[in-house]
Amino acid sequence: MSQKTDWFPGARAGQLAMAKNWGGILPAKAEAWGVPTAEVTALAAHDWKSYYTAGKIKAIPEP
């Protein structure tokens, strides 16, 4: 079984680079992966408040 340390960068710079990369991958794969369009749109718009309100994240990221 894979663990977070197998694929998730430990350094903050690596985590941010990974997030930026996924910003381009997710919209292209969302339909095939079953990710709702509204979710992709909210992520692309950095709509952190709605994610916080829905309990999907524990804190709103600092800009």
Query: Is 63 domain-assigned?
Result: no
Q: Does 46 score more than 70 pLDDT? A: yes
Query: Is 45 domain-assigned?
Result: yes
Query: Is 28 domain-assigned?
Result: yes
Q: Domain of 13?
A: 9-53
Query: Is 59 domain-assigned?
Result: no
Q: How many domains does the chain have?
A: 1
Q: Which residue has the higher pLDDT, 7 or 35?
A: 35
Upper half-sphere CA count for residue 56 (Cβ side, 13 Å): 10
Tens of pLDDT, residues 23-45: 788 889 999 999 899 888 877 87
Query: Is 24 domain-assigned?
Result: yes
* Overall pTM > 0.85: no
What pLDDT, on the 0 to 100 scale, is given for residue 32?
A: 95
